[in-house]
Amino acid sequence: MATLAQQRQAIRDGITASRAATGADERRAIGQRLVNERRGIKEDLNALEKSPRRSAQLPRVERRGGVPPAMGVGHWNPSRLPSGGGGLTSPIEEVSRTLHPPRVVWSSDGLVAFSLQRTNELVMRDAQGVEETRIFPNAP
């Protein structure tokens, strides 16, 4: 029976022998062959093109010089302002609130459950007495 060291030596010799067939010279030859094949394909494709390529140049544009400094000019037109106010005026007070029916929500591990009741409609009044109603969907 061979010792462990002898078994490892036999494995190493087998791997070395199998790799010797694909030595550095052979790998270089394979790489050069691939490069030559690519060159041949490129030359074949270029031969298919009928018209020779010419490098197009952009037309020359005369220089115009720099832009002189200037002041910005704006025109005020008060008629373009929106009519009326818009939005709510602080402070905002809650007038009423309605709720969706309660639902039971479970934790992701299923160990904890709790009841959840979301807002359905919220009515608010601002400082000028304007009422605003917000309606919320009962999202899952």
What string of DSSP letters covers 77-109? -GGGSPSS--S--SS-EEEEEEEPPPEEEE-TT
pLDDT, tens digit (0-9, with 9 covering 90-100), for 54-94: 778 888 888 888 888 888 888 888 887 776 666 778 888 99
Q: Considering the entire predicted model, what is its pTM? A: 0.36
pLDDT at 47 over 70: yes
| pLDDT value, residue 21 | 64
Question: For residue 89, which of 47, 134, 131, 140 has the smallest C-alpha distance?
Answer: 131
pLDDT, tens digit (0-9, with 9 covering 90-100), for 2-46: 899 999 999 998 888 777 666 777 778 888 888 888 888 778 777
| pLDDT value, residue 22 | 65
Q: Say how far apart CA 136 and CA 120 lie, in whole Å.
A: 5
pLDDT, tens digit (0-9, with 9 covering 90-100), for 92-134: 899 999 999 999 999 999 899 999 999 999 999 988 888 999 9
